[in-house]
């Protein structure tokens, strides 16, 4: 099956790897457009990085739309301390082949989803959910086109990474996360409980540096920066490959385990802002039902990630 996909991201090191996997798997993923949103780095840097990834993949002509430069309500949060000011760690990307589309990502999402066939589009979101939330606020009927939302975000037993209580994508725009998770779309949420299980260990770094493939070399340079920054946290295990889990799930869901839950997003301005509280369905209390991913086969998933991006 070929999935029609729109990928909304904040590239960022792991977003870039997710993009490379999606672009490599072009026999199964028809990537229709890329939307970028402020998150790891400011939105203009995200846009430059998305265009650079397309140049690296030699995929000119794929439209990139720049989106929201700040969250719906809260002040912007960035993660340059992890991804570097460039958002690319130690890597550099080729000069862009194409330029940005002139329209805003929110306008694009509204137009593309309102005109698409019912249930035809898989929306993958690997950053703060601001763009899609703003599109839903403008036109709630766009959900008609969504086959599934596959989102990297949230944490349960894993606590948090930007605070002790919250994962970055949710913390950065909790109001957007609540709007999107309450949209009624079929939703798979892949949080830290799962993504922290796939680390870029020294052996996996050698796998990436052991070939002369540009996608693997670039990914190694990006992750090496995060490994260095996070050395004292991740130790020898290496940085987690959060965002590629979304594309991996789309390609091979059997590599993942999860179950239906109700998810509550903390939109307070206190210390628990952005916390995702996972409730069993018999205690849903009106919170939206989603597929909550809790496990994955990290060996098979890492091989899938590298295999697909090395098809470029």
Query: Residues 81, 108, 242, 259: which is the catalytic one?
Result: 242
CB of 251 to Ca ion, least distance (A): 18
Residue 19 touches which of ligand RIB, Ca ion, none (CB < 5 to 8 A by kind)?
Answer: none
| Per CB under 5 A, 15 contacts Ca ion | yes
Among 8, 14, 148, 298, interactor with ligand RIB by CB under 6 A = 14
* Extended strands (E) in the chain: 3-9, 29-36, 64-66, 121-125, 146-152, 187-190, 256-265, 276-279, 289-296
| Per CB under 5 A, 12 contacts Ca ion | yes
| Per CB under 6 A, 156 contacts ligand RIB | no
Task: Number of residues interacting with ligand RIB: please give it, by CB under 6 A.
Answer: 16
Closest CA to 127 of 234, 56, 46: 46
Q: Which residue's beta carbon is nearest to the bound ligand RIB?
A: 168
277: three-class secondary structure by DSSP = strand
The answer to whether the peptide bond before residue 12 is cis (omega within 30 degrees of 0) is: yes
Residue 161 touches which of ligand RIB, Ca ion, none (CB < 5 to 8 A by kind)?
Answer: ligand RIB
Residue 244 touches which of Ca ion, ligand RIB, none (CB < 5 to 8 A by kind)?
Answer: none
The 8-class DSSP code of residue 166 comes to: -
Helix (H) / strand (E) element for 116: namely none
**Is 83 marked active-site?**
no
Among 52, 127, 174, 258, interactor with ligand RIB by CB under 6 A = 127
* Bridge partners, residue 295, by sequence: 257
Among 148, 156, 193, 243, interactor with ligand RIB by CB under 6 A = 243
| Per CB under 6 A, 298 contacts ligand RIB | no
User: Are the C-beta atoms of 14 and 40 separated by less than 8 Å?
Assistant: no
CB of 171 to Ca ion, least distance (A): 12
Closest CA to 8 of 44, 50, 42, 48: 50
């Amino acid at each position: 099956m070929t999935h029609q996909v729109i990928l909304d991201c904040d590239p960022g090191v792991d977003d870039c790897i997710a993009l490379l996997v999606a672009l490599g798997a072009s026999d199964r993923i028809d990537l229709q457009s890329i939307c970028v949103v402020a998150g790891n780095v400011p939105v203009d840097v995200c846009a430059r990085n998305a265009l650079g990834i397309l140049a690296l993949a030699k995929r000119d002509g794929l439209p990139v739309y720049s989106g929201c430069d700040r969250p719906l309500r809260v002040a912007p949060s960035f993660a340059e301390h992890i991804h570097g000011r460039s958002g690319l760690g130690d890597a550099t990307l080729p000069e862009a082949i194409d330029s940005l589309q002139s329209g805003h990502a929110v306008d694009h999402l509204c137009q593309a989803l309102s005109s698409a066939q019912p249930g035809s589009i898989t929306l993958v979101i690997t950053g703060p959910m601001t763009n899609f939330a703003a599109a839903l606020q403008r036109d709630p009927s766009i959900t008609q086109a969504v086959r599934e939302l596959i989102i990297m975000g949230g944490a349960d037993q894993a606590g948090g990474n930007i605070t002790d209580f919250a994962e970055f994508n949710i913390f950065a725009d909790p109001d957007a996360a609540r709007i999107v998770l309450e949209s009624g779309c079929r939703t798979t949420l892949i949080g830290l409980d799962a993504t922290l299980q796939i680390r870029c260990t020294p052996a996996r770094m050698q796998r990436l540096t052991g070939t002369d493939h540009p996608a693997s070399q670039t990914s190694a340079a990006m992750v090496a920066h995060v490994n260095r920054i996070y050395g004292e946290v991740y130790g020898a295990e290496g940085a987690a490959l959060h965002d590629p889990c979304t594309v991996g799930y789309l390609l091979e869901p059997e590599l993942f385990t999860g179950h239906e839950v109700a998810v509550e997003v903390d939109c307070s301005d206190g210390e628990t802002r952005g916390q995702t509280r996972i409730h069993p369905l018999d205690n849903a209390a009106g919170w939206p039902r989603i597929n909550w991913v809790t496990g994955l086969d990290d060996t098979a998933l890492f091989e899938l990630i590298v295999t697909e991006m090395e098809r470029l």
